[in-house]
Structure 1
Amino acid sequence: MPIRRERTLKVIRGAKAGAPGRPVRRRVVPRPVTAPATRIEEVLHRLDQEPVEDPTEAADLTVVGDPAQVEDPPEPDGPPVAPGEPDGAADGGRRVGEPAGPGRRRALAALLVVLLAAALAGAGVYGHRWYVDRATERARQGALAAGKQASVNFVSVSAASVDRDLQRITAGATGDFKEEFTRGQAQVRTAVVENKVESRGSVLRAGLVSGDRRRAVVLVAVDATVKNVKAPEGRPSHYRIQLDLVRDEGSGDWLVAKLQFVG
């Protein structure tokens, strides 16, 4: 829209006569001349006829004004945000490059302590379980070996070494079985000596029926060759022996608490 400018006319008035030889001074008095008023219909019509301003050209326009009245654009608070990332989205709500506060550091430290404690507790539980399993397995293997040896000792008796053989059986017994065998030990010795018994046994098979670190039940299959007065050449015998074993807390040895022939 064209800018209306006010025009002034210079009116020269005659000056008073001065001294002879001096130029006559004239005063110029500006008088505003009011431009004729423009009708509203003409303004609207002119606006409709004028071309629309090109936005690309308008973007290149520079406003020139008083430097004191032109304000600089406000600078953003804090460090710049990475391109494509919303403000405050980086690093859990903090701006990029902003250091974590004391509260956040304490929370992270507490979280690390909790995780470490959980890991140590899990390792302790797993380690304890592993230790118990290993100890139980070793105890079962010990009970199986003790059951096989006790079975061989029980069927391996000779008139020539009867006292040593019976003592070996007694040393590996405990509880009711030890009491019963001790009471009948004299009769067994007499029968072995009078009949000139010589028996040697060997284990065929053995298995653990049940067991833990304190008690176990073992089943042993034993073959033996028995010689006596009636069978000087010897005769084969087959035994199936079940042994209830108890582990001595002091020595850690497995002792026979009950012995019986089965099958």
Structure 2
Amino acid sequence: MTGAKKEVAMQARRNHTLKIIKGAKPGVPGRAAQRRMVPRQLSQPEEPIEDLLQRLDQEPVEDPAELADPAAGDDPADADAPPEEAAGGRPAEKRATPAPTRRRRPLIVLLVVVLAAALAAAGMTGHRWYVDRATDQARQEAIAAAKQASVNFVSVSAASVDRDIQRITAGATGDFKDEFSRGQSQVRAAVVENKVDSRGSVLRAGLVSGDRSRAVVLVAVDATVKNVKSPEGRPSHYRIQMDLVHDKDSGQWLVSRLQFVG
């Protein structure tokens, strides 16, 4: 066969073979593009049909089982994906997670500090209120004790001298108690001898100074004194200053010093 005839025979053979056309069906991401077979009109083959079929069998073909069904909406790319990704969500490890505990600690610490400060302020306010109230109550009790001690001191009668002296001693302490105890016998003798009968009443009383343990009180007292020289009685006016201390054991205010002023 001449060269011209060989060229014609080879051209005819190329025209009679089956060609593979890519892109006949949309490919699936991540997989090889689908191919389809497009037959061409064959003229009389120059090679035997058995050789042609054997060559076609060697061409690669797509596995139908691996193809996705567009109608069913299946996406093979999602087959191996985690459930979160296949559903269109974020991967479990990439989802938004609550803020770490350490980020909330500054706020918690701040709240604790504010609460502690509020409780401390409330405690200080409550303590101050308690102290002020206790001090006011102590002062009122000191004034009341001074009034009673003044009345006891100027109210003495020959008929009840021992009881009257005992009452004065029971309300005294310190220097005043010592002095009165030393002159107690002379006082009793003078009251009995002169047939004294004195009755007093408080006009006014005021706190000079004082706290919960000590106080100084000034008391104005009127008294009517009867004795052998004034059987009808004569009025007397006294201003008595008393120093008092609070006795923790008995809870009473006792006179530690007594003096007449003005």
What TM-score range do you get, normalising by the shorter chain?
0.5 to 0.7
- How many residue pairs match? The answer is 174
Alignment of 1:247-262 (within 5 A): 247-262=246-261
**SS at 1:100's partner residue?**
coil
1:133-172 paired onto structure 2 within 5 Å = 133-172=132-171
- Identity over aligned pairs, percent: 80
Shift of 1:218: 0.2
State the alpha-carbon separation in 1 of the partners of residues 195 and 115 from structure 2: 72
Of Structure 1 and Structure 2, the greater helix share is in: 2
SS in 1 for 2:203: strand
Cα displacement (A) at 1:101: 3.1
Partners of 2:125 and 2:206 in 1: CA distance: 29
Q: Does 1:235 align with 2:234?
A: yes
Q: Deviations over 1:158-215 (max 9, x none)?
A: 0000000000000000001000000000000000001000000000000000000000
CA distance in structure 1 between the partners assigned to 2:99 and 2:117 by the alignment: 26
In the other structure, the counterpart of 2:15 is none
The 5-angstrom pairing of residues 5-84 of structure 1 reads none
Structure 2 counterpart SS, 1:196: coil
| SS of residue paired to 1:256 | strand
What residue number does 1:214 align with? 213
Amino acid at match of 1:250: D
Cα distance in 2 for residues equivalent to 1:252 and 1:123: 30
Letter in 2 for 1:101: P
For residues 98 and 232 of structure 1, what CA distance do their matches in structure 2 show? 104
Residue in structure 1 matched with residue 225 of structure 2 by the alignment: 226
Deviations 1:65-108 (A, max 9, x none): xxx9xxxxxxxxxxxxxxxxxxxxxxxxxxxx984332221111
Q: Aligned partner of 2:156: which letter?
A: V
SS at match of 1:200: strand
CA distance in 2, matches of 1:130, 1:205: 29
> Hey, what does 1:121 align to over in structure 2?
120
Aligned-pair CA distance for 1:223: 0.2
SS of residue matched to 2:195: coil
Q: 1:197 — aligned with what?
A: 196
Distance 2:117 2:97 in 1: 31
| Dislocated runs of 4+, deviation >6 Å | none
TM-score with structure 1 length normalisation?
Answer: 0.63
Q: Residue 250 of structure 2 aligns to a residue in which SS?
A: coil
The CA RMSD over aligned residues, in Å, is 2.3
Gaps of 5+ in 1: 1-67, 69-96
Partner of 1:90: none
Q: Which residue of 2 aligns with 1:52?
A: none
Task: Please give the secondary structure, in 1, of the residue aligned with 2:123.
Answer: helix
Q: Distance in 2 between matches of 1:118 and 1:100?
A: 28
Deviations 1:104-160 (A, max 9, x none): 211111111111111111111111111111111110000000000000000000000
- Which amino acid letter does the alignment assign opposite residue 150 of structure 1? A
The one-letter code sitting in structure 1 at the alignment partner of 2:116 is A
Aligned to 1:229, the other structure's residue is in SS state: coil
